[in-house]
Amino acid sequence: MAARDYYSRGQNLVYNRPVLVIFAVIGAFLVFDILRQVGTGTVAITDLMSYLWNGLVLGMSLGLAGVGLSMTYSILNFANFAHGDLITSGAFAGWATAFLIAGLGEFSVESLILIGGPIAVGSNELGINVVNTPLALLAGLLVAAVLTAALSLLLDRIVFRPMRSADGVTLMIASVGVALFLRNFLTYSFLTDSRGLTGGNVPQFTVAGVTFGGHQITLVVVAALLMLGTHILLQYTKIGTAMRAMAANKDLAKVTGIPTERVVKLTWIIGGGLTGCAGFLIALQQGTLTVTMGWDLLLLVFAAVILGGVGSIYGAMVGGVILGLASRLALVWIPASFLLVAAFVIMIVMLLVRPSGLFSGRTTA
Amino acid sequence: MSTGSLQARAEGWLGNNDVRLLIALALAIGGLYALFSVVLGFQLNGTVNTLRRVAFLSAIYAMLALALNLQWGYAGLFNLGAAGFMAIGVYTMGILTAPVTASPPGFGLPLPVAIVGAILVTGIIGGLAALPAIRLRADYLAIVTVAFSEIVRLTLRAPEFANTRIAGVAFGTGGATGLSLPSNPIRVLFYTDPATTAPAPNALGAAIFSAVEPLGIEETLVIGWAYVIVLCLCLGLLYWLMIRIGKSPFGRVLKSIREDQQVTQALGKDTRLFKIKTFALGCALMGLIAIFWRLSGGYASPRMFKPIQTFYIFIALFIGGTGSPTGSIVGGALFASLLFEGPSFIRRVVAEYLQLSNAPDTLVSALAELGTLDVTPLLAYSVQDVSISALRLMLLGIVLVYLMQRHPDGLLGHRKAIASSVALSQQATREDDNE
């Protein structure tokens, strides 16, 4: 009986969702192929492990960067193309602070505020890393969060609030304008030099041939803590409940007496704060900073959010980690220049097969 | 009061006749740049060359906006991957025409055959991309198409395809360094053997070159202007085609899809097929226009097809107003002349007339000088290459936000081509003024 049930359910699946079945078969084949390649020794097990670790690091970056995007997407109903440049803004604000605290007295304020750049401050001379200057980094993280939240609120006040009733496409195009403005404002202020950030001896651990960098570990741990905090906030506080109610049905939320404008503001504050932290941590892990950092990440962040399901915080986290792992594991088959291509293909396939994402049906939970 | 009525009269005179409007616009832009040239003290050759460049970019962006208007203004398909389809068109043409012996090698086909091939390839890829994408919501379609255009760009840039051999056929994209394209085809009109580096002029070429030589106008400029004139003819043809499409049964179905897809389906139209056809046609046109664009430079590289290229076309389209072919041309010309080329001319005027000292290295030192009420360091900082291009893009961002807030339908958006073949609004009292 049970076997027949399974059989008929399988049959239904094949008939109703043929594309899904095809992709599931391809996925299973790829997993099998990895195991085979490891078994035959074509891919060393240490290589595989470092792909997985690097994938996790990338995934946590994308997940943390995606939470804010996912929140605004579900509550304000538009794809915010300026999100990538909010990430960059957070990184610049945070790192200027970290440089100021670490190097005040030794270097000119001008060069520190500009994070080196046109005037070279050797990042090696400053020696910022998680062991040498933890306070400077903590201060940088806080300033990144606060300033990005403030910037988000300001942008909402100037750009998005006057067009609250506009449809998603109009808001999305306006956000493209905001993205252009922010990125080029940073270019105008900081110029295009790529900046080295960290220096000194960054601690790292090598376990069974896999190198775990100190800043990679910092990113994973802090990102996990921030996501846990967001989860608790949304799940157990009144404001979290209000946010989820608004994401589920805006009109009903308004009728129930939820102050929707205040919820929107808080969404920008929390989302912006997390985004700023993400920018600061991603720059810390990369060790370099450019004005196009966030814009270059934006499509990947979108991919993570869509993969997990728009509006779902867990979705953004899980989507980020899956995307990070998948795109790094793809190095088993494809050359490094196609890494991004693989991630975008995963996103497009996801949108076509299951546009509601892995965590569909849950909004901001 | 009198200015108001003057404005109303001017609007009445221009607003009712598209040809008058376009001619007035061309004269205004031409006049502005002639003035720039005089202020900057250009020779005749420089003035004519400035006008050529502005006219060239205006024609290209007007055509691109027309093609995008077919997809977004008529059918409501939000294609944020225009740059990718442009790249496919240009690179297909480049690979088909590159000589077999060149590096990277190509197929050595004649240019007209290659252009037809490029249009077909771009149209087919556009149709295939539309096949699954058409079901998506507008914002998801936007993300999918922008990801598609990045996939195209990254693939063209990848060293693996720079010089490759697939199934025994050697060809290549040139990778990050780019691809040489054939020389400007308009040279055939003026030279006996246009492929060589220093060709001899034919009868027509000799006559024109010797006629303009006393004025100090160079041969390359004559060729450039001839190309612009051909492009303007193409623009006219495309404009006519768009108006024809808009009035045809096909175009009316598209506009009804834009207004209400379900009603259109209920009337028995296969909206999917219409959308796919429109998407493919729009993409093929973008491929062709991009070929026109790059043939004048003789060179293509993946850098030219970043998403910002798509945003440029959208800004042009939104300035003019979606859904109106005349609006697309107005938007393309205004975008290219004022927003795209304008800032660099303003910068040259500033540099010419305000003997600026050396620019400070950083914005901080430039701002510090403001304390002594001296704005020249800040100006000098702002007119550097990097800062002026950043300021230009900041301006574009502000324009985009402004348009979305105040005029989401653009300057001529109120003239959005209506879906019905007769004007319904003249009979009914206009209740829906927001349309």
Closest CA to B64 of B318, B247, B248, B301: B318
Whether residue A118 and residue B136 make contact (CB cut-off 8 A), yes or no, is no
Average pLDDT over residues B126-144: 83
Whether residue B405 and residue A163 make contact (CB cut-off 8 A), yes or no, is yes
pLDDT in tens, A50-77: 888 888 999 999 999 999 898 888 888 8
How close is the nearest chain A Cα to the Cα of B347, in Å?
Answer: 15
What residue in B sits closest to A168 (Cα-Cα)?
A: B139
Pick from A118, A188, A355: CB nearest B140: A355
A121 pLDDT band, cuts 50/70/90, is low
Distance separating alpha carbons of residues A192 and A200, to the nearest angstrom = 25
Greatest mean pLDDT among A345-354, B39-48, B118-127, B191-200 lies in B118-127
Average pLDDT over residues A159-176: 88
Say what percent of chain B tops pLDDT 90. 25
How close is the nearest chain B Cα to the Cα of A240, in Å?
Answer: 26
Kindly tell me if the per-residue pLDDT of B67 is higher than 70: yes
DSSP notation for B114-155: HHHHHHHHHHHHHHHHHHHHTTS-HHHHHHHHHHHHHHHHHH
Residues of A with CB below 8 A from B144's CB? 347-348, 351
Distance separating alpha carbons of residues A9 and A16, to the nearest angstrom = 10
Kindly tell me if the per-residue pLDDT of A11 is higher than 90: no
Whole-number pLDDT of residue A81? 93
pLDDT in tens, B151-165: 999 999 888 887 777
Whether residue B386 and residue A191 make contact (CB cut-off 8 A), yes or no, is yes
Q: Which residues pair with A211 in a beta bridge?
A: A206
- Exposure pattern of A21-54 as b/e (b: 16+ CB <10 Å)? eebeeeeeeeeeeeeebeeeeebeeebbebbebb
| Residue B99, CA atoms < 13 Å, CB-side half-sphere | 6
pLDDT in tens, A266-280: 989 999 999 999 999
DSSP notation for A21-53: HHHHHHHHHHHHHHHHHHHHTSS-HHHHHHHHH
| Residue B183, CA atoms < 13 Å, CB-side half-sphere | 14
What residue in B sits closest to A299 (Cα-Cα)?
A: B147
B32 in Cβ contact with B334 (< 8 Å):
no
Kindly tell me if the per-residue pLDDT of A346 is higher than 50: yes
Q: Could you tell me where the DSSP H helices lie in chain A?
A: 2-16, 18-40, 45-76, 83-103, 109-113, 123-126, 134-155, 168-190, 214-236, 238-248, 250-255, 260-286, 293-308, 313-329, 339-353
Interface of A with B in 222-261 (CB under 8 A): none
pLDDT: which is higher, B149 or B371? B149
Q: Are strands B164-166 and B179-180 parallel, antiparallel or unpaired?
A: unpaired
What residue in A sits closest to B388 (Cα-Cα)?
A: A188
What residue in B sits closest to A192 (Cα-Cα)?
A: B386
A327 in Cβ contact with B127 (< 8 Å):
no
Whole-number pLDDT of residue A73? 86
Kindly tell me if the per-residue pLDDT of A364 is higher than 50: no
Whether residue A351 and residue B144 make contact (CB cut-off 8 A), yes or no, is yes
Distance separating alpha carbons of residues B286 and B70, to the nearest angstrom = 11
pLDDT: which is higher, A318 or B119? B119
B422: its two tokens: 């007769």
**Chain center to CA of A77:** 19
Whole-number pLDDT of residue B435? 38
pLDDT: which is higher, B12 or A349? A349
Distance separating alpha carbons of residues A12 and B246, to the nearest angstrom = 44
How close is the nearest chain B Cα to the Cα of A79, in Å?
Answer: 7
Whether residue A184 and residue B391 make contact (CB cut-off 8 A), yes or no, is yes
- Exposure pattern of B247-266 as b/e (b: 16+ CB <10 Å)? eeeebbbbbbbbeebeebee
How close is the nearest chain B Cα to the Cα of A219, in Å?
Answer: 27
A329 in Cβ contact with A119 (< 8 Å):
no
**Chain center to CA of B119:** 17
Distance separating alpha carbons of residues A221 and A240, to the nearest angstrom = 23
Average pLDDT over residues A121-129: 67
Greatest mean pLDDT among A15-29, A143-157, A303-317, B403-417 lies in A143-157
A82 in Cβ contact with A175 (< 8 Å):
yes
Kindly tell me if the per-residue pLDDT of A113 is higher than 80: no
Greatest mean pLDDT among A159-168, B44-53, B389-398 lies in B389-398
Pick from B132, B361, B396: CB nearest A180: B396
Contacts of B275 (CB under 8 A, 6+ apart): B75, B77, B130, B134, B257
Distance separating alpha carbons of residues A63 and A65, to the nearest angstrom = 5
Kindly tell me if the per-residue pLDDT of B425 is higher than 90: no
pLDDT: which is higher, B265 or B5? B265
ipTM tops 0.90: no
A105: its two tokens: 């007295």
Residues of B with CB below 8 A from A172's CB? 139, 142
Kindly tell me if the per-residue pLDDT of B192 is higher than 50: yes
Kindly tell me if the per-residue pLDDT of A281 is higher than 70: yes
A360 pLDDT band, cuts 50/70/90, is low
DSSP class of residue A310? T
Distance separating alpha carbons of residues B214 and B208, to the nearest angstrom = 11
Pick from B136, B160, B362: CB nearest A335: B160
DSSP class of residue A338? G
Whether residue B408 and residue A183 make contact (CB cut-off 8 A), yes or no, is no
What residue in A sits closest to B308 (Cα-Cα)?
A: A180
Whole-number pLDDT of residue A123? 58
Distance separating alpha carbons of residues A154 and B242, to the nearest angstrom = 42
CA distances from B25 to A265, B19, B21, B169, B344 (A): 44, 10, 6, 49, 21
What residue type is A5 in one-letter code?
A: D
Interface of A with B in 18-77 (CB under 8 A): none
Interface of A with B in 281-310 (CB under 8 A): 299, 302-303, 306
Greatest mean pLDDT among A120-129, A159-168, A179-188 lies in A179-188
Pick from A176, A180, A299: CB nearest B150: A299
DSSP class of residue B358? P
How close is the nearest chain A Cα to the Cα of B198, in Å?
Answer: 40
Whole-number pLDDT of residue B115? 92
In this structure, of A60-64, A242-246, B77-81, B207-211, the range with the lowest mean pLDDT score is B207-211
Closest CA to B360 of B350, B352, B370: B370
A82 pLDDT band, cuts 50/70/90, is very high
DSSP notation for A112-180: HHTTSTTS---HHHHT--TTT-HHHHHHHHHHHHHHHHHHHHHHIIIIIGGGTTS-HHHHHHHHHHHHH
Whole-number pLDDT of residue A18? 67
Pick from A299, A306, A337: CB nearest B158: A337
Q: Which residues pair with A288 in a beta bridge?
A: A196
Whole-number pLDDT of residue B429? 44
Whether residue A168 and residue B139 make contact (CB cut-off 8 A), yes or no, is yes
Kindly tell me if the per-residue pLDDT of B270 is higher than 80: yes
Pick from B394, B404, B405: CB nearest A181: B394
Interface of A with B in 137-176 (CB under 8 A): 159, 162-163, 166, 168-174, 176
A247 pLDDT band, cuts 50/70/90, is confident
Gap between the terminal Cα atoms of chain B: 29
Greatest mean pLDDT among A100-114, A263-277, A306-320 lies in A263-277
Pick from B139, B144, B368: CB nearest A348: B144
Q: What is the pTM of this model?
A: 0.87
How close is the nearest chain A Cα to the Cα of B144, in Å?
Answer: 6
What residue in A sits closest to B310 (Cα-Cα)?
A: A176
Average pLDDT over residues B291-303: 89
CA distances from B47 to A281, B34, B42, B332 (A): 52, 6, 6, 22
Closest CA to B199 of B216, B217, B183: B183
What residue in A sits closest to B175 (Cα-Cα)?
A: A337
Distance separating alpha carbons of residues B265 and A56, to the nearest angstrom = 46
In this structure, of A59-68, B349-358, B397-406, the range with the lowest mean pLDDT score is B349-358
Say what percent of chain A tops pLDDT 90. 26
- Exposure pattern of A313-332 as b/e (b: 16+ CB <10 Å)? bbbbbbbbbbbbbbbbbbbb
Q: Which candidate in A169, A331, A333 is best for mutational testing of the B interface (most B CBs within 10 A)? A: A169
Residues of B with CB below 8 A from A191's CB? 362, 386-387
CA distances from A15 to B123, B136, B143, B339 (A): 32, 22, 29, 54
B432 pLDDT band, cuts 50/70/90, is very low
Tell me what the pLDDT averaged over chain B comes to.
82
Whether residue A355 and residue B78 make contact (CB cut-off 8 A), yes or no, is no
Whole-number pLDDT of residue B335? 92
Whether residue B400 and residue A341 make contact (CB cut-off 8 A), yes or no, is no
A108 pLDDT band, cuts 50/70/90, is confident
Residues of A with CB below 8 A from B132's CB? 352
